[in-house]
Amino acid sequence: MEVITLQSGSSGNCVFVEADGVRLLFDAGISARQAELRLAQHGRDICDIDALVISHDHRDHSTGIGTFHRKFGLPVYVTAKTFQEVRRRIKIGPVSDLRHFVAGDTLSFGPVKVETHSTPHDAADGVVFVVEDSQHRFGLLTDLGHVFEGLGELMSTLDAVLIESNYDPDMLDRGPYPEFLKHRIRGPKGHLSNLDCAMLLKKAVRDRLRWACLGHLSETNNDPEVAMRTHHEILGAEFPLRCADRKAASTKMLIGDHQTDNPTWTRDAARGT
């Protein structure tokens, strides 16, 4: 299984996953042109994608739905509530190949399954995903709201994860956001802090987790070095860890027999690479 984050953060999110010959794109929060170029840098043609799967209605995950669909011929998988809310808030144009699912469904793409799990994030009908091939399970877990019941158990089933580590509590408290927005971020429908994320990972590392990529870092209330320091204090420096870039594509991340613990991860991640 291969994972490439094309961008991760409040300015846009898009993740490519390839497994057993199936190529999937999760979320469309960046421009179609940028998605095409960043995949091409990795030798991937965006027109070969089998499906575009949407997590929730917020603009940084959904604004490109219509363009991705029409320009690249991608079928769109999304819950009905999410799509209705996107349509209400964003001019996305016509989408002729729309395939609704319900949170909790498992989507099938040939030999690859995608589990969908509901979250308490403040979206119309937010979900997160677990991609499973014949051997491996990858979690795509951002915009979680809080550490809800069952999240730890789900983490324990994963081989690798992209998980939100959105804010540092001290940076948020001292930062420029108005109080209502700070309350929203740290509240039960907001985001996970660095500490929340690190504690979840600590438990999962005891099970089968082989690496983690920290995603959806706030540009204002977090910093890759701060996030990495918090995680190293809790997980130790040896666990393979990196931060997804807020403005560019990551290098390819592997899950499988050819995956080795890459020692450059913990050094490079502080630069967001």
Confidence of residue 207 (pLDDT cuts 50, 70, 90): confident
At 74-130, the pLDDT tens digits run: 999 999 999 999 999 999 999 999 999 999 999 999 999 999 999 999 999 999 999
Instruction: Write down the pLDDT at residue 98.
Output: 98
The larger pLDDT score, comparing residue 257 to residue 163, is at: 163
Is residue 250 within 8 Å of residue 4, measured between CB atoms?
yes
* CB atoms closer than 10 angstroms to residue 203: 13
At residue 193, φ and ψ (nearest 5 deg) are -80, 170
167 residue type, one letter: Y
CA dihedral of 264, 172, 249, 4, whole degrees rounded to 10:
70
What does each C-alpha distance from 197 to 6, 129, 203 come to in angstroms?
A: 21, 17, 10
Which of the 8 DSSP states describes residue 252?
A: P
> What pTM did the predictor assign?
0.94
The pLDDT of residue 260 is above 60: no
Helix (H, G, I), strand (E, B) or coil at 177: coil
CA 46/CA 157 separation, integer angstroms: 30
The pLDDT of residue 9 is above 60: yes
CA 183/CA 228 separation, integer angstroms: 24
Instruction: Write down the pLDDT at residue 263.
Output: 39
Map out the domains of the chain with their CATH numbers.
Answer: 2-271 (3.60.15.10)
Is residue 79 within 8 Å of residue 127, measured between CB atoms?
yes
